[in-house]
Structure 1
Amino acid sequence: MNRLAGLTRFLVPSPCYLCGTPSVEDNGLCARCASDLSADKRTVPHRCPRCAIRVSEAGQRCAACLQHPPHFDFAVAGQDFNAASRYLIHQFKYRKDPGVLNALMQPLFLSIEQAYGRRQDGLTNNQLKDWPDVLIPMPIHPERRQVRGFNQARLIADRIGRRFDLPVHGKAVVRSGSSESQSGLSAIDRRKSLKNAFEVRQALPRHVVIVDDVMTTGSSADALAHALKRSGVRMVSVWVLARTPAPGDIPH
């Protein structure tokens, strides 16, 4: 949201995106909903370092990653894909309301800083986690791009790039496979539909981050990471706004 829009919201508060309470925050949420949505809370969930799904202990890998490790090496999620985050992401993704992106980005920024350390804190390279070289927005099929009018992953990547001073390579990879939506498909069907779906068209540096809105089964990220590593990339991380919980794991 630009400065003028923020001033307008301050002078004439608009309803909170989630509860309808008048809000004067730039992110479009009231203070309570912003606090509930934020990852900077007393009870930040432990997540599998490989796929970012909830686990019971810090540093613990989930059973799925132990049995069948994905091609990507590390993942960060801003929050779980629950009722609140689902509503905001759908408003952003399907109703073309970019204002809600402000509310969604803050938890992801905090999670990235918690995982990697803040470079502006004066830490040495040895004290920092291996920060990536470039961000790659998850490509969408040209037909879906034409219908939607934008790639939501590119907008997210641009925000991350500005926040952490990281370059975004939006044309390095193209999606040439099926334009069918992945939502509603089983994990097996997702993998089948994504076989050879991505083509890397530019030489890329050693460490690349895939940026997307939601990780559900991880099939799309896995297929893209596989293509990136075949092209010569050594390390692939994934950063997403939200991670779908495991079946039966209902986030509070």
Structure 2
Amino acid sequence: MKPSLVVGKIMQLISASLPNRCLMCHQSIALPARGLCHVCLDSGLYHQPICQGCGCAMQVQCIFCGRCLLKQPIAVIAPCSYHQGLGEWIGLIKYQAQFAALPVLSQALVNRVCELESLGLLRLPQVLVPVPLHINRQRKRGFNQAWLIADSIYQQLNIPIAVQGLERVLDTESQAGLTGQQRRMNLSGAFRLADSFPYQRIALIDDVVTTGTTVNEIATMFKKLNIHVQVWCLARAEAPGLLD
């Protein structure tokens, strides 16, 4: 047996021997489930129709609420609100490289996508496009969380990932704590898209959508090439009161 396979087998045995507990309630979870138990995960997921535009609660599941229907904003698909209990674990993925909740949250996103597709409210894209990091930030962090999410989705839906065509050319400051206007100024010219992109429908992948500044900046470039864009993320941090 190759040494790499031996090491992999040892790591699997070690992992299987460790306590498998929910990050939130610390109760034991039966393998192969990991990260979050069903009860804690379910408590943070959406349980009502949600507008894909602004994230407000609706009475009937449609693509957009009446207000967004007039604006036709970019559609954002997420399984939960960042503010309803699961945001902490999503933040730990990006800022502390703690990936325990990533598989179950990615599965929740895929479930949401499949639900909306079955209702005729979503058309699957041809390719997944992770929001890119600048090379300096990726080297410092060691990974791109958007790519990890995209890879998990690929494993479940077999939709390929586009690894070329879109790049981040400016090493901007973090968007956290900036106002909407500051966010837009911060990202102006931060991304570059190739002149030709061989797809007509893409899903832009990110961990969290807050004001939508980042995804809208990127979507504008794709739309100039007549490419349809939707956004898939683990959670959206909608404005206060929209879920009331």
Query: How does the TM-score come out when normalised to structure 1?
Result: 0.81
Q: Percent identity?
A: 30
- Give the equivalent residue in structure 1 for 2:138: 145
User: Is 2:58 the counterpart of 1:56?
Assistant: yes
Distance verdict in 2 for CA 1:10–1:227, change over 3 Å:
same
Distance verdict in 2 for CA 1:93–1:206, change over 3 Å:
same
Aligned length: 234
Shift of residue 226, structure 1, vs aligned partner: 0.3
Distance verdict in 2 for CA 1:194–1:11, change over 3 Å:
same
User: Is 2:176 the counterpart of 1:169?
Assistant: no
Shift of residue 77, structure 1, vs aligned partner: 0.6
Shift of residue 86, structure 1, vs aligned partner: 1.5
Q: Which amino acid aligns with 1:152?
A: Q
Q: Does the CA contact (< 8 Å) of 2:208 and 2:234 recur in 1?
A: yes
Shift of residue 170, structure 1, vs aligned partner: 2.3
User: Is 2:151 the counterpart of 1:158?
Assistant: yes
* Separation in structure 2 between the aligned mates of residue 146 and residue 34 of structure 1, nearest angstrom: 32
Q: Does the CA contact (< 8 Å) of 1:10 and 1:24 recur in 2?
A: no
**Structure 2, gaps ≥5 residues long:** 1-7
Distance verdict in 2 for CA 1:105–1:133, change over 3 Å:
same
* Separation in structure 2 between the aligned mates of residue 171 and residue 152 of structure 1, nearest angstrom: 17
Q: Alpha-carbon deviations, 1:73-101, whole Å to 9, x = none?
A: x2211111025322111221111122221
The runs of at least 4 aligned residues of structure 1 exceeding 6 Å deviation read 2-7
Q: Does the CA contact (< 8 Å) of 1:134 and 1:167 recur in 2?
A: yes
Q: Alpha-carbon deviations, 1:148-167, whole Å to 9, x = none?
A: 11100000011111211111
Q: Alpha-carbon deviations, 1:111-170, whole Å to 9, x = none?
A: 10111139xxxxxxxx78422111100111222111111100000011111211111012
User: Is 2:18 the counterpart of 1:16?
Assistant: no
* Separation in structure 1 between the aligned mates of residue 66 and residue 23 of structure 2, nearest angstrom: 36
* Separation in structure 1 between the aligned mates of residue 237 and residue 147 of structure 2, nearest angstrom: 20
Shift of residue 60, structure 1, vs aligned partner: 6.6
Q: Does the CA contact (< 8 Å) of 1:210 and 1:237 recur in 2?
A: yes
Q: Does the CA contact (< 8 Å) of 2:21 and 2:34 recur in 1?
A: no
Shift of residue 234, structure 1, vs aligned partner: 2.6
Give the counterpart of 2:186 among 181, 193, 196.
193
Alignment RMSD, CA only?
2.8
User: Is 2:34 the counterpart of 1:27?
Assistant: yes
Q: Does the CA contact (< 8 Å) of 1:105 and 1:241 recur in 2?
A: yes
Q: Does the CA contact (< 8 Å) of 1:19 and 1:33 recur in 2?
A: yes
Q: Which amino acid aligns with 1:153?
A: A
- Give the equivalent residue in structure 1 for 2:116: 115
- Give the equivalent residue in structure 2 for 1:46: 49
Report the 3-state secondary structure (helix = DSSP H, G, I; strand = E; otherwise coil) of the residue aligned with 1:98. coil
Aligned pairs (5 A) from 1:207-246: 207-230=201-224, 232-246=225-239
Q: Does the CA contact (< 8 Å) of 1:178 and 1:194 recur in 2?
A: no
Distance verdict in 2 for CA 1:4–1:143, change over 3 Å:
same
* Separation in structure 2 between the aligned mates of residue 194 and residue 67 of structure 1, nearest angstrom: 26
Report the 3-state secondary structure (helix = DSSP H, G, I; strand = E; otherwise coil) of the residue aligned with 2:79. strand
* Separation in structure 2 between the aligned mates of residue 60 and residue 215 of structure 1, nearest angstrom: 17
Q: Does the CA contact (< 8 Å) of 1:143 and 1:179 recur in 2?
A: no
Shift of residue 184, structure 1, vs aligned partner: 1.0
Shift of residue 64, structure 1, vs aligned partner: 6.8
* Separation in structure 2 between the aligned mates of residue 82 and residue 112 of structure 1, nearest angstrom: 20
Shift of residue 34, structure 1, vs aligned partner: 3.1
